[in-house]
Amino acid sequence: MKRIFFLLCLIISFNKLLALASTGSWNILNVKYSYSDKLSLFGETQLRSLRFYEHFHYYEYKGGIEYNFQKSVRGTLGAGSYQTFAEGGNFVMPKNNNEFRIWPQLTLFQSINKFKIEQRYRAELRFTSRGYRNRFRYRLGVSYSFGNNQKDFKPFKISVSNELFFTDKEPYFERNRFLLAFNYKPSKMLSLQAGYLQQFDYRINDETGRGFLQLGVYIDLVRIQNKSSHNESEIKDN
């Protein structure tokens, strides 16, 4: 209990510092249903603001299907709606972008001692208010789980990841996204995440490059027959 209390105090203090720095907010709710050890469905919604819980400018909702070809290889097919508003207030019109997106994805997992390595490759077919676009993303992440084992999982995890965004048109490079996150897993079905996300944009109008406080709630639902709901090396999506 003392360790949990200390971590909560640390997170609260960190949040206060971020608020003083006019950091934006990045909020995630993700629900995943594992039909079997190989097949699962998911749904996710996000809400973002350019200041600390004000000037909300972006929301998205998406869903998809995942299939584990083997323990270290996962395929995903997702689709969703992505809405970006003008800066200066809460959901200021007109919109900067109104987008429907389809994205196939491949994720590779690897363990090196106690560290878990994740490589994620995603292609995005983007139907935007400014026409059709392609985008390609690569994310490399490392995570470390710790704490006393709770049945078949550890309750705490620290992760760091960096993601690059490219297109097939000049200037080709669009964005860099860095995330440092802490996860607390009170049960096998629930995971809570707090982190700091730093984003740099190059000549795009989806949102301004800056820092965000990221808070996420991840719910894993499983069939009774299913023994394992997810890969422990997984870095939570964003």
Q: Assess contact for 217 and 29: CB atoms under 8 A.
A: yes
Q: Which domain holds residue 20?
A: 2-222
Q: Please list the pLDDT of the chain residue by residue as tens digits (238 residues).
A: 556 556 666 666 665 555 555 789 999 999 999 999 999 999 999 999 999 899 999 999 999 999 999 989 999 999 999 999 998 899 999 999 999 999 999 999 999 999 999 999 999 999 999 899 999 999 999 999 998 876 678 899 999 999 999 999 888 899 999 999 999 999 989 999 999 999 988 766 555 568 999 999 999 998 765 555 555 557 776 6
Residue 117 covered by a domain: yes
Task: Identify whether the C-beta of residue 188 lies closer than 8 Å to the C-beta of residue 153.
Answer: yes
Q: How many domains does the chain have?
A: 1
Residue 236 lies in a domain: no
In a domain, 237, yes or no: no
Residue 228 counted as domain residue: no
User: Can you give the pLDDT at residue 148?
Assistant: 82
Extract long-range pairs of 41-45: CB within 8 Å, 24+ residues apart: 41/65, 41/66, 42/66, 42/78, 44/80, 44/237
Q: What is the pLDDT of residue 202?
A: 77
C-beta neighbour count of 198 within 10 angstroms: 15
Q: Give the 3-state DSSP-derived string for 62-115, with helices as H, strands as E and coil as C.
A: EEEEEEEEECCEEEEEEEEEEEEEECCCCCEEEEEEEEEEEEEEEEEEEEECCE
Give me the pLDDT at residue 236, please.
Answer: 74
| Structure confidence at residue 5 (pLDDT) | 58
Q: How far is Cα 82 from Cα 206, in angstroms, rounded to an integer?
A: 10
Would residue 123 count as lying in a domain? yes
Instruction: Examine residue 171 and state whether it is found in any structural domain, yes or no.
Output: yes
For residue 235, tell me if it sits in a domain.
Answer: no
Per-residue confidence (pLDDT) for residue 224, from 0 to 100: 64
- 166 CB neighbour count, 10 Å cutoff: 15
Does residue 176 form part of some domain? yes
Query: What pLDDT score does 237 carry?
Result: 66
The residues facing 148 across adjacent strands are none
Residue 177: CATH number of its domain = 2.40.160.40
Q: Model pTM?
A: 0.86
CA distance 70 to 229: 14
